[in-house]
Structure 1
């Protein structure tokens, strides 16, 4: 395709067409209405109906409208606009439209306050219709009161910060009671049981996963107690061998179809390991302490072997006991531990990587610590045996503040031939003619092809070092240099994450500093 963009193709084609009659111009309301119709259409001949609705929109579109209609349908606007920008803009718009105007001496603090409020509300009620209406009717300062967590609408999951060992956990949670739970290697799931008895399951990206797990929907009636009329559970869905009563690797679970799964066709059984409850019988629990939430979880549900179990947990501050608990978790095919404070402030913090939750994986102690979720933004052609596929890839982390992807390493080793062919084939239709304006990389890097930011790869490395070539966390540790990974290797593709949910540059900086503290003899390298 010469243009490399379906939106530009639509614009070009539409500009050469002539209409016999005058059409009604598009409005934002009309486009939104038609998009909702498209989203709800299903069943026999639904594809034909969707095509008809799209065609109706394109016929009415003029100038650049066909381009952006098609890009909206692809969910790739290609304008460097991230969701965080929209939320900040909403907050700023409310401040600038206040009557009387905000004094110039207060404007900056008010802008920051408004942005923070809108972001926080969006994490528990991600519905723009509701947020905008509440902003217009009650203002930004009352937004939290008028727009809150609703059953059936997924909230952003609370996340944990990485640690490198049991001793670091004891140091961070000194004089604070905490609990340790197994960290299961599956898919994060938020299960909503509505008042009418229906069940909805959402991924960590707030995608509707109900059609992927009909067996989970079917099991709800067996593990909830009769007194429970509605709930929201935070849990991990894990592939499970019910005959041997053992957890199976994540790769087994990833073999399941993504939608349209029927009970009779299921070959990979799953078990729900629940570790938190966010809503129960009409009462939202986000502001309750973890102790309270856990008691309600245990009191309201019952374990069903191989279908629903509570996350294995202990409460201890004994180093040897925690180390033994970590070893047991690893022996039972878990990734490691999640450590949670039981402090009075231990509320549930949606969409936040909180200091109240720490994670310790089995391979943290002998390398860089946490794995990183990175985005392939470019590649280099393979040579020799790798001719015909990409020989190496340029990976980037995501800078949330500047909304840009910053290069962090090249990765080309550790791929099997099949894996390399698979990743190359997956990225070929993501090729773009030039790097995005929001890509940051060293001048000496000259990839053969550039990609749309589309995939997220989980990568492990030996350590992090200061680099003049890469731009990850540039200026955070060194004023003129970034941070790079040494000896990176691909662990898996994170299909449950979007590119803007990749490891952020701030986390990269924190990981580097934690490494320097734990390995004071670490030498930085100026070579990639």
Structure 2
């Protein structure tokens, strides 16, 4: 299969904005794709060459990619860099150079094959050590020398992590269902398959080889992260118990990094974040805790890594555990910031998929699987049937240094719903119990140039909540308060890889920021209240036909939620629930 087919589809996708049109064009690409290459093309549509959790890093520095373009086109790196500044994009610059008669490689533009592109990109990703930069340069230049101009454009965007197509995994699943699963009816099966393995290529391969029945037969497996189950949120203890059938397990909600630990058959222990980053090297002490205290020879366990003084029995602030998220100086960080692992779920143990079991049986299996120690703990949990007891448990959790509670259903249908944000789990956090304070994890989708003292940096950002039903990010507020000068100085570099020359297809906003960004960076925001607004699109039409929701007096709390992917952000549905709950609760109540 020619890579040009994929590149041309990329170009078409980049120009489309409606979810339906994007799905149709993607379906056309998948229909053209041979069965043996379908997993590969699905990865390519994610901007990847392997499952995200595999950690295959294609992030080639732009300076090195510029040198590869210069080598291929017979120009200088300075000339290429100047054209990049003019066009704002290395891919466009390369396409222009390769289209020019003065620089087009003679007779060497027959084009690339998908298979050779991916094989070479794997070699580029694997190159390390002495001479690796030269090897990467040689391999990329070799591909560019045989690429058509449009292939070169998107190949360069892929290797420099600038491939922005306006589609997420849900849209790829829509297209897969349309082509290979009989339409929308098969989407739920594909979603579940993806949620329990986080591998779009595996789902695609299983689908084309065995049909929907084979995808339904997929089970959780150590080594393949499971998309985490998420919670709704409410502020009233009585309403929480009513939602959960009159009783719940109230677990402490710790303020740390949620991890999913996998012990595979070879004894290896891997730690994954909810963003599918493998962080075992950053927390070798947690790996050691599990090696000593986790019983099953194969297992998938979830817990919260928290900065923790075991001698004093004291939980430390979230900011301290984030100091552990580094690539260098790990040994010193382990000494400076000791952590504990507070475990709350067991999803798999020695051949048994536990996700379908009700919560009480999973909790019992978790307790049996662990040999506890001062820093390997179970989350504190209590069975509750009375609103007053739930309020008291909440107050004790806050006193003990936690954010609040996660109230979990204990009924027969309380299985672990991978990737779902349903009413089986409900968060009760202290932020929601204050009269006019609601925190939300929102995604930066735009920025406004600073003025006055903030001239030369971004003065405010446009923030959006995630609409999971439409796979779109809808604007909810503009925020400049709470950012320190250091925060603002760091923002351009943090956001540069996400910058877009136009409003991204997955962003729904009526505002016109000075710079647009693809959804990627999540921040925690504190707001005085939610209000109806004709100018913001979050939860549009859910409360009133001609209005969405906006935040009043938003303020950045100082917490960068690097542990969260964009689609883990607060949803528009959650915001609507918060608004309605606040309307039902009298001031001071």
User: TM-score band (shorter)?
Assistant: 0.7 to 0.9
Shift of residue 43, structure 1, vs aligned partner:
4.4
1:333-392: CA deviation from partner (whole Å, max 9, x where unpaired):
211111111101111111111211111111111246752221222222323322232222
Moved more, 268-277 or 13-22: 13-22
Cα distance change of structure 1 residues 269 and 485 upon mapping to structure 2, 3 Å threshold: same
Alignment CA distance shift 1:393-1:485 (3 Å)? same
> Match for residue 224 of structure 2?
153
- Secondary structure in 1 matching 2:390: helix
Whether 1:191 and 2:261 are equivalent positions in the alignment is yes
CA deviation after TM superposition for structure 1 residue 411, in Å: 1.0
Does structure 1 conserve the Cα–Cα contact (< 8 Å) formed by 2:181 and 2:211?
Answer: no
Kept after mapping to 2: 8 A contact 1:222/1:304: no
Task: Sort the Cα spacing of 1:431 and 1:278 in 2 relative to 1 into closer, same or farther, 3 A.
Answer: closer
Task: Name the residue aligned to 1:502.
Answer: 569
Of residues 262, 267, 285, the one that matches 2:354 is 285
Residues 445-524 of structure 1: pairs in structure 2 closer than 5 A? 445-491=511-557, 492-519=559-586
Q: Structure 1 residues 92, 281: CA separation in 2 closer, same or farther (over 3 Å shift)? A: same
Q: Any conservation in 2 of the 1:379–1:393 contact (CA below 8 Å)?
A: yes
What RMSD over aligned residues (CA atoms) do the two structures have, in Å?
A: 2.5
- 2:90 is aligned with 1:6: yes
2:54 equivalent in structure 1: none
| Cα distance, 1:43–1:499 mapped onto 2, change above 3 Å | same
**Aligned equivalent of 2:166:** 80
Q: Which moved more, 1:394-403 or 1:185-194?
A: 394-403
Q: Which residue of 2 aligns with 1:30?
A: 116
How far apart are residue 460 of structure 1 and its match? 1.9
Alpha-carbon distance in structure 2 between the residues aligned to 1:430 and 1:280: 39
Match of 2:383 in 1: 315
Alignment-derived partner of residue 68 in structure 1 = 154
Match of 2:460 in 1: 392
What does residue 47 of structure 2 align with? none
2:50 matched residue in structure 1: none
Gaps of 5+ in 2: 1-84
User: Who is 1:221 aligned against?
Assistant: 291
- Cα gap change, 1:66 to 1:216, in 2 (>3 Å): same
After superposition, residues 364-375 of structure 1 pair within 5 angstroms as 364-367=432-435, 371-375=439-443
> Cα deviation per residue 1:432-466 (whole Å; 9 max; x = unaligned)?
44333443333xx4433333333111112122111
Residue 430 (structure 1) shift: 4.7
- The correspondence for 1:342, drawn from 395, 410, 418, is 410
CA distance in 2, matches of 1:285, 1:132: 24
* Counterparts of residues 108-119 of structure 1 (less than 5 Å): 111-119=183-191
Q: Indicate whether 1:297 and 2:366 are aligned.
A: yes
CA distance in 1, matches of 2:311, 2:500: 49
Question: Where in structure 1 are there 5+ consecutive unaligned residues?
Answer: 97-110, 523-528
What SS does the aligned partner of 1:363 have? helix
C-alpha separation in 1, matches of 2:442 and 2:338: 30
Please name the residue that 1:414 is paired with: 482
1:463-516 Cα distance to aligned partner (Å, 9 max, x none): 211101111121222222211111111121111223333323233323322332
Structure 1 residue 424: deviation in Å? 4.8
The number of aligned residues is 501
Segment drifting more, 134-143 vs 512-521:
512-521
State how far apart, in whole Å, the 1-side matches of 2:235 and 2:331 are.
Answer: 41
